[in-house]
Amino acid sequence: MADNEQPKQPARQSSFAAMLLAGGILLLAVSFFWPGQSASRAAWSPEKAKAYQAASVKLHSLSQETITTPGSSNDKANREKLAQAEAEYKAIRSQLDSAIDRPKYITYALRILGSLFAIAGLTLIYRRSNGS
């Protein structure tokens, strides 16, 4: 029975090595197309884009208003509104930056994982060909 199992083991190793290599190459290929196309569109909707634009316009207009009317009676109120608008803008901007960066991290993860799979597959194939 032990003699029966020995020929099956190298065949399993060869197919496992081939699957690792093919899977690694597939992940590498996918990393060049998929993350940039689908993930960025799903992460940032048109509603979020409109909210970002509105916050940007509000921040700009309040900053201009604060600059053009220094020392007025509404100066303290304008500065408070400006600080609130700036906080809103920064919150939305951080969401935008996160939506921009997310596909990059997915791409890196896919490339690293694909490279590791391909290297593992090549290593197993190399060991098999050297008789080890």
Average pLDDT over every residue of 97-120: 88
What share of the chain in percent tops pLDDT 90?
Answer: 22
Domain boundaries, the chain: 9-129
Query: Is the pLDDT assigned to residue 69 strictly greater than 50?
Result: yes
Q: How confident is the model at residue 100 (pLDDT cuts 50, 70, 90)?
A: confident
Average pLDDT over every residue of 23-38: 82
Is the pTM here over 0.85, yes or no? no
Query: Is the pLDDT assigned to residue 1 strictly greater than 70?
Result: no
DSSP string, the chain: -HHHHHHHHHHHHHHHHHHHHHHHHHHHHHHHHHIIIIIHHHHS-HHHHHHHHHHHHHHHHHHHHHHHSTTSTTHHHHHHHHHHHHHHHHHHHHHHHHHHHHHHHHHHHHHHHHHHHHHHHHHHHHHHHTT-
